[in-house]
């Protein structure tokens, strides 16, 4: 059992059980889950900005993580799926601001706070840090996808490889690029999704619905 399994809320336990039930018989599922950070995992847009210790306390972080994310991570990690966070924020945002946290360190602070230190995930951003927004913000996260493929040692020209990648991102531009490469995609809380999902922005429910839709499409 994961370190955070006992934190699953009673309200979401049926969703967790439903996700596990849906995942177990399905084949051709994603094995690499790529999450945007701002306004996908979080309610707010941090802008990758440098933040002080007072601004990123545990209560603040927990209040800004979207519903269902922790439970979803529990399911994925128990399955052995790979998790990446694809963000334009990098450590350069914190340059010149003493006592602040930005970029990779900011994402890590969020993740360690809600998941516990030592959980397995990777941040796909610019390394070494530079000005990733200026250099790559118009490429639909092409840079991030290439980083992920390289880290996994995968062939980006193999359609069967790309079908095993699922991007969850609130920006339709990024989603369109990944979809054009043959990856699975999801835009949570989007006007393009159902009214129910927009009214109930639970990322766990959104993933469950997306995978069920994938299974139904394969069955026809």
CATH code for the domain of 75: 3.40.50.1000
- Binning pLDDT at 50, 70 and 90, where does residue 156 land? very high
pTM: 0.80
What is the per-residue pLDDT across 121-131, written as a single tens digit (0 to 9) for each?
Answer: 888 765 544 55
- Give the sign of the dihedral formed by CA 139, CA 142, CA 144, CA 150: negative
Residue 190 confidence (pLDDT): 47
Q: Residue 162's closest CA among 139, 144, 147, 180?
A: 180
CA–chain centroid gap for 171, Å, is 12
| Residue 194 predicted with pLDDT over 70 | no
What's the CA gap between 123 and 35, in Å, rounded?
9
Q: Per this entry, what is the length of the chain?
A: 220
What's the CA gap between 186 and 217, in Å, rounded?
15
Residue 154 confidence (pLDDT): 95
Structural domain boundaries enclosing 40: 5-219
Number of domains in the chain: 1
């Amino acid at each position: 059992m994961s370190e955070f399994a006992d934190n699953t809320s009673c309200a979401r336990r049926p969703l967790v059980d439903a996700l596990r039930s849906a995942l177990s018989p399905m084949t051709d599922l994603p094995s690499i889950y790529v999450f945007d950070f701002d306004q996908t995992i979080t309610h707010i847009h941090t802008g990758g900005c440098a933040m002080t210790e007072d601004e990123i306390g545990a209560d603040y972080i927990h209040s800004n993580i979207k519903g269902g994310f922790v439970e979803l991570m529990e399911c994925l990690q128990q399955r052995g799926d790979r998790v990446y966070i694809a963000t334009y924020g990098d450590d350069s945002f914190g340059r010149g601001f003493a006592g602040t946290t930005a970029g990779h360190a900011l994402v890590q602070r969020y993740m360690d706070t809600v998941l516990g230190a030592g959980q397995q995930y990777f941040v796909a951003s610019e390394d070494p840090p530079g000005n990733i927004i200026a250099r790559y913000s118009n490429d639909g996260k092409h840079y991030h996808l290439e980083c992920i493929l390289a880290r996994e040692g995968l062939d980006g020209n193999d359609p069967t490889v790309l079908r095993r990648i699922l991007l969850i991102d609130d920006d339709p531009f990024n989603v369109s690029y990944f979809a054009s490469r043959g990856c699975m995609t999801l835009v949570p809380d989007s006007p393009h999704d159902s009214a129910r999902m927009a009214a109930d922005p639970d990322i766990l429910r959104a993933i469950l619905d997306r995978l069920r839709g994938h299974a139904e499409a394969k069955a026809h």
